[in-house]
Structure 1
Amino acid sequence: MGPAEPPPIRVPVGEGSPRWTSRTVRRRVLLVVHNATSAGRLLDLLPLFHDDFRVQLLVTSTGSSAFQSGIREIFAELELPVLPWEQALATRVDLAISASFGGELAGVQGQLSVISHGVGYTKRLGTPGSDGAEPTFGLSPEWLLADGRPFVDGFVLSHPEQLERLARTCAEAVPSAVLAGDPCFDRMLAARPYRDRFRRALGVRRRQRLVVLNSTWNPEGFFGSGGRDVLPGLLPRLAAELPADDYRLAAVLHPNIWHGHGPGQVRAWLDRARRGGLTLIDPVHGWRQALLAADLVLGDFGAVTYYSAALGTAVLLAADGREKLDPKAPLAEFVRRAPRLDPYAPLRPQVEGALDGHRPDPTPAGFVTSDPGRSAALLRRHFYALMDLPEPAAPASLEPLPLPPYDPPRPTAPLYVRTRVHGTDITIERSTEQPYDAAGTTHLAVHEDTRHPGDLETADVITRDGRPDDPRLGGPDLWTAEVLREHPHCAAAVYVTGPDACTVRTRDHGAFRLTAGAGADADPAAYASSLYAWLAHGGTVPPDGVTLRTRTAGGAHPVTVEAVTEPSERWPHSAVAEWADTEGAEPQPV
């Protein structure tokens, strides 16, 4: 038995509400939420009612979705009056807007407009309790008729293609159909000029390529276990086969995955991948920015993968699922034609081939919306017409996509570092496993926060990142000295202080400050491994410093290396020997 429904609210609607309200409004607009997925699309629409003192916004949840998690958090963010569903059905409103057909929508007292929460209407899904072949969700009598009659006053479609399918499957609903574009896609189109900012927010370096893993919900999706269940084996191979400095990995998962299994469970399942550098993207507020930032999407038959193709991004399908789609939908045709990822073949050649051979196909963008950039004007006109209220004088607009918080990769898994030294040029490649045919000299770099402390005892280089004034760590000089003292095998300790600088302390050469030069844009930990390899190859830092060139991700990154201690001030080698004597281990000179 579920929790009892909360009591009815009393203001700004409810019994006796006029006594308590500060403003009298002319229209009430009710946002009807089925689950977190549909709520995300309703968030796109809120700016259409901004600054209109004639309108009171309300929100309710039908309670009809199996995915109830996440709704409360979205309501808290909205900070709108929340009506229990029974009160919502009993309250007269001027306009109700839903981004789903879940719940007793036919019982809403007021004009009802329904908008898609995906890329049109593409998937097969029967109504609760239905038997037989599943109809197309949103384009069939099962979803559009109540007692044999249409109950939706405004059925928003984004493209005439959807109207044609609607006419074939449920002609009774055609008179209520309205072509009004796609606000979700319009927000992405408007944010295209800020692609580089979104990439920097994810810590994507200039020459890195961002690979986004995307999955819709249900067993046939990329994340699901109903097909070949390739994801558990694919994740560690991506981190092993795609060099860390060449590629950045992120995942956009359907909200129903997050809220069906629980965010904590999703993070637990993907823990190893996250420690290898995978970033999980906010499924409500951050996924569009990630798509705009992406170079390649490993996806499936969901709307997000189709949006990626519509943006012109390279796509490889890791799951098919075409049997879940309306075969007449453009998404189904895209799935039939899109290139596939072979999860059992080497991954790097497939990824590089998809990127290098990609030629954007204009077809998906042409079917996402027939009115790109115009959804705000079209939707507001539609909503205000249903309310029989003149539109505000100001032009209709949507909220710009926000710049996400800075979220660089934070890999803590050990990295095998392959280097080749040619003078002051050091070619470097890092990955979580050592390829059998790897060229060059290899050393092991381990983050201090590794899950397995034993990794630190075999590490040649130990790293961590933090502010230079972090009192817990004591700053770069103290921390690096402590690491060398605590880990006799370690030859270099690296404290990354920012996106372009770090401090490195070695056993025989003292401590150095490394600073990226003009045009450099790689991980400072990679610079530190370059210095380690160069010193091991016989290099010596002169008193006035030296500039090394770290070659990775197809570019050369100049790095200034400056000594920060005189030989007499270095951490005493006798102390190293004394520690080694007590521990029975030999220090590893560089």
Structure 2
Amino acid sequence: MTDGTVLFAARSATALYRLLDVLPVFAGDARIDRRFTLVPGSDFGIDALAAIEHARARTIPWDEALRHTHDLILAASPKGELRLLRGTRALLPHGAGFSKSLRGEGSGDSASGLDPAYLLPDGNALASFHALAHPSQVAQLAAASPQAAARAAVVGDPTLERILASRDHRDRYRAALGTGARKLIVLTSTWGPESLFRRRPGLLSGLALHLPYDTYQLALVLHPNERSLIGAFDLTERLAPAIDAGMALAGPYEEWGALLTAADAVVTDHGSTALYAAALGCPLIGAYDGGDELIPGSPMAELLSQSPRLEEPGDTGSLEAALGAPHRPGAVRALADTVFAEQGRALGRLREELYGLLRLAPPPQPVAARLLPSPSPPARTPAAFAVRTEVSGEEIRVERLPAHTDAPAQYLAAEHGAAGEPYAQSAGLLYRRRAPQPAAAPHSVAWTAAGWTAHALGGYPGCRTAAAILEPWLCVVRARSRSLLSVRIEPRQEDGRVVRADPAAVLCAVHAWLAGRAGPRAESAELSCVIGGVAFRARLSPATADEAAHVLD
């Protein structure tokens, strides 16, 4: 028998995700009956319903929700017909701070989330309780609606609690993304006509196709409303050049927080997502081109005014200059502190308030934020690269770009069996990775390293070097008119960590070295391969009989 029914009323996927982050407040309490309903009237309602179903929550139709009286109604948007629901209504913000004003909605000149047209429908207060993240927001609310502000309390931000609780999992998130020693650059875009996604449609592909692959990894966090407007299928098709180049696309729920936690820098428009990155002390780069939505003097306006700016849509030099600007994590966090109070205590504060509204004693166990799950890896990893190398003595600098770049390059390197056949036919360096060992079969045929490299040179006349990657630290290489060589790659030790190079990038260095050296002396050498700004030692020597006979399939 339950003592309290809590109705989570969501109008959009964005609002629903905020409500899901509140669930730990009621965790383990068998007295609470949790129900979800979709508030009608939003262009983004379909995705909200899909998200509720994905959470496997108990849903009730809107008409049924109207027939019952609920002990507590939780919502994260004042829009829609919430006033028709019977019960104590508690309202949470659906983002960080109140920095945007959306023209054509409500009063038009009010901050989104603080509009009296929604907070005081028919002159009556919509909510019995407003849960806010900072005292300054209470002052904002009082300026917009003194009646609503009288029902407000500062509890902090439950979504920020998840991000802060997950900070120690940064390495795990980067491992899931395959970031390695690269710099993870996360681009965040809000929705609407002034968003980065709309204003700079060529930015993602421009960066993805021109930034060195071994130096940078890109990821995109896109507002759920924009996803709803475009649709998942059309979105991935629009972003295909960047996704093909290895860009990660965050899922609409939870993954964005993990990406911010893993990021080395965040490029942002005026959307509030960047404020969470600021709370982590992450370097921020502005990419907002102005308009009517950003409220002057708001937290996001202050953040953008103090951040370096990305000037040109596809100018990688502008990004690198912004990344090189002085960064003071403490100053960035100080800006976030003007938005987020009660850090580390938000869920406990919220539980006190909500159980007070339910007239129930809170559970005795402490409330804890749920850790963010690992993000999904990029949907696609490039298997062909346009390569630029610079040889200076035994040092070879390697820069790899996605093969479909329009930037100048010296040759193409392609992974056999993963890159398309046109790339394989055009590759100066063709390599393959050792396949996972399948279960034993009664009949099988498998290439050896020596056999496949000879076969590749014979089958692809334009190929000058064929190589087999046997282990992350061991490759076998055959260049035309040369004997079979072994390449042993040493990992780097940095600050107590082991850093490994992609062996395919080291093979690009070896290919360039062999192309400029004649005679057997080139076949026994110790090279310094600079990849992504990190130098890795690679030793060349004649391949042993065991290495030549290594089975690849």
TM bin, normalised by shorter chain, reads: 0.7 to 0.9
Q: CA deviation at 1:405?
A: 4.5
Match of 2:496 in 1: none
Q: Distance in 2 between matches of 1:283 and 1:539?
A: 55
Q: Which residue of 1 aligns with 2:213?
A: 244
Q: 1:521: Cα distance to partner?
A: 2.1
Mark the CA change 1:63 to 1:242 in structure 2 (over 3 Å): closer, same or farther: same
Is 1:325 the counterpart of 2:294 in the alignment? yes
TM-align CA RMSD: 3.2
Instruction: Return the match for 1:385 from 353, 356, 359.
Output: 356
Q: Compute the displacement of 1:414 (Å).
A: 3.2
Is 2:536 aligned against 1:554?
no
Letter in 1 for 2:338: F
Which of the residues 33, 50, 63 maps onto 1:56?
33
Which of 509, 517, 522 is the matching residue for 2:483? Answer: 509
Q: Distance in 2 between matches of 1:564 and 1:486?
A: 22
* Paired residues for 1:11-90 under 5 Å: 24-90=1-67
Count of residue correspondences? 535
CA contact 1:417–1:445 (8 Å) conserved in 2? no
* Compared CA separation, residues 54 and 473, structure 1 to 2 (3 A): farther
Asked if 2 retains the 8 angstrom alpha-carbon contact of 1:127 and 1:142, the reply is: no
Q: Does the CA-based 8 Å contact 2:475-2:503 persist in structure 1?
A: yes
Partner of 1:112: 89
Matching residue of 1:487: 460
Write the distance in 1 (CA, Å) between the matches of 2:447 and 2:162.
43
Q: Structure 1 counterpart of 2:195, which letter?
A: G
Name the amino acid aligned to 1:171: P
Instruction: Identify if the C-alpha distance between structure 1 residues 96 and 357 changes in structure 2 by more than 3 Å, giving closer, same or farther.
Output: same
Partner residue, 1:98: 75
Cα distance change on mapping 1:260 and 1:470 into 2, 3 Å: farther
Match of 1:537 in 2: 516
**Retained in 2: the 8 A contact 1:119–1:368?**
yes
Distance 1:183 1:568 in 2: 55
Is contact 1:42–1:99 with CA below 8 Å preserved after alignment?
A: yes
Does residue 305 of structure 1 match 2:274? yes
- The one of 421, 424, 434 aligned to 1:456: 424
Counterparts of 1:272 and 1:153, CA distance in 2? 49
Asked if the contact 1:541–1:563 (Cα under 8 Å) also holds between the matched residues in 2, the reply is: no
Say whether the 8 Å CA contact 2:119–2:125 is kept in structure 1.
yes
C-alpha distance after superposition, 1:471-503 (max 9, x if no partner): 999577476565444322112344557766655
Letter in 2 for 1:75: I
Write the distance in 2 (CA, Å) between the matches of 1:321 and 1:341: 13
**Cα shift at 1:435:** 5.8
Q: Measure how far apart 1:61 and its partner are.
A: 0.9
Q: Does 1:365 align with 2:365?
A: no
Structure 1 residues 55 and 535, CA gap change in structure 2 (3 angstroms): same
User: Does structure 1 residue 175 correspond to structure 2 residue 150?
Assistant: yes
Which of residues 254, 259, 265 in structure 2 aligns to 1:290?
259
**C-alpha displacement of 1:443:** 2.8
Q: Per-residue CA shift, 1:236-277, capped at 9, x if unaligned?
A: 432344211111111111111222101111111111111222
What code does the residue aligned with 1:395 have?
P
Greater shift, 459-468 or 50-59, is seen at 459-468
Structure 1 residues 116-125 or 452-461, which shifts more?
A: 452-461
Q: Counterpart of 1:521?
A: 500
Matches of 1:108 and 1:281, distance apart in 2: 34
Q: 2:436 aligns with which of 458, 463, 468?
A: 468
Match of 2:385 in 1: 414
1:564 deviation in Å? 5.4
- Alignment partners' CA distance in 2, 1:217 and 1:343: 20
Mapped partners of 1:377, 1:133: distance in 2: 35
Task: Kindly provide the CA deviation profile for residues 353-398 of structure 1, in whole angstroms up to 9, marking residues without a partner as x.
Answer: 4335222323322122111111110111111111111000001111
Question: How far did residue 427 of structure 1 move?
Answer: 2.1
The answer to whether 1:428 aligns with 2:398 is yes
SS of equivalent residue, structure 1 residue 82: coil
Could you say what secondary structure the match of 1:429 adopts? strand
8 Å Cα contact 1:416/1:434 also seen in 2: no
State the Cα deviation string for residues 278-302 of structure 1 (Å, max 9, x = none).
1212221211111111112121000
Maintained 8 Å contact 1:241/1:348: no
Give me the whole-angstrom Cα distance separating, in 2, the residues matched to 1:430 and 1:539. 25
Task: Tell me if the contact between 2:398 and 2:529 (Cα under 8 Å) persists in the aligned partners.
Answer: yes
**Once the 2 structures are TM-superposed, how far is the Cα of residue 468 of structure 1 from its aligned partner?**
3.3
Greater CA drift, 465-474 or 51-60 = 465-474
Query: How far off is 1:69 after superposition?
Result: 3.8
C-alpha spacing 1:413/1:32, structure 2 compared with 1 (3 Å): farther
Match of 1:93, SS?
strand
Q: CA deviation at 1:214?
A: 1.4
Aligned to 1:222: 196
* C-alpha distance 313-144 of structure 1, shift in aligned 2 (>3 A): same
Match of 1:194 in 2: 169
My pick for the range that moved more, 295-304 or 462-471, is 462-471
- Contact 1:274/1:411 (CA < 8 Å) preserved in 2? no
| Structure 2 letter corresponding to 1:125 | L
SS in structure 1 of the partner of residue 90 of structure 2: strand
Please report how far the alpha carbon of residue 97 of structure 1 lies from its aligned counterpart in structure 2 after TM superposition.
0.9
Contact 2:243 2:378 in 1 (8 A): no
**One-letter code of the match for 1:358?**
H
- For residues 38-97 of structure 1, give each alpha carbon's deviation from its aligned partner in whole angstroms, at most 9, with x where no partner exists: 121112111211111111111111132201343344223322211011111212221111
CA contact (8 A) 2:101 2:295 kept: yes
Q: Distance in 1 between matches of 2:53 and 2:12?
A: 14
User: Could you tell me how far apart the structure 1 residues matched to 2:490 and 2:432 are?
Assistant: 18
Per the alignment, residue 399 of structure 1 pairs with 370
- Report the AA paired with residue 82 of structure 1: T
**Which amino acid is the alignment partner of residue 147 of structure 2?**
E
- Please tell me whether residue 125 in structure 1 is matched to residue 102 in structure 2: yes
The aligned amino acid for 2:423 is D
